[in-house]
Amino acid sequence: MSEDTSAERAERLRKVIALEIDRIVEDLEARREVLIELWGRTRDRGMFLDTVFSRWKTLGFPDLLDLETAEVAAVDAFYRELHELRFYFRFTEDMPVHMLDAYDLALHRLRGYGELALELLGGPPDRPYIEFPEDELPSAPDEDDLAADEEETPEGSTEDPNEEAP
């Protein structure tokens, strides 16, 4: 297998960072109400810190050398905002109403910096999507299905309906 060119590596890095930025903002939007409600009941910081988890700090300078300076600056601005929010979540003693205001302001800022970074990075890759029927879980056959199967087998037959014919 041939080694990646720096352009290929940079493109993959752009997509991975863009995917993470997109996921963080999307999770913060989707979990907003439940996080604030749970904070009011439990004062547990773990769920907030899990939501804003990122791998950004695991990247080193060699990983970023192939990106354009403007891309790195925009990504860094997003992650600085995220760091501020993480710091707030880690140490706040705010009541839920005040936390909601701080959360909304931070989310607004993260959306703005995230959009700028995503634009410069070329956007996140398309996520795979599988469409499942709404509110339908696979279930065991109901009694009507079983009764219909019994009617198809001749009475007194010793044949196993699950056995294949020779």
Answer with the residue of higher pLDDT: 136 or 115: 115
Instruction: Grade residue 133 by pLDDT with cuts at 50, 70 and 90.
Output: confident
What is the distance between the alpha carbons of residues 73 and 60, in angstroms, rounded to a whole number?
A: 14
CB distance 118 to 21 below 8 Å? yes
Question: Is 40 in a helix, a strand, or coil?
Answer: helix
Which of 37, 51, 38, 46 shows the shortest CA–CA distance to 106? Answer: 51
CB atoms within 10 A of CB 72: 16
CB atoms within 10 A of CB 48: 23
Average pLDDT, the chain: 86
Q: Write down the pTM of the prediction.
A: 0.75
Q: Is the pLDDT of residue 165 over 90?
A: no
Q: Is the pLDDT of residue 127 over 80?
A: yes
The model's pLDDT over 6-20, given as tens digits with 9 standing for 90+, comes to: 899 999 999 999 999
CB distance 123 to 25 below 8 Å? no
- Say what percent of the chain tops pLDDT 70: 80
| Domain chopping of the chain, boundaries | 6-121
The model's pLDDT over 24-71, given as tens digits with 9 standing for 90+, comes to: 999 999 999 999 999 999 999 999 999 999 988 888 888 889 899 999
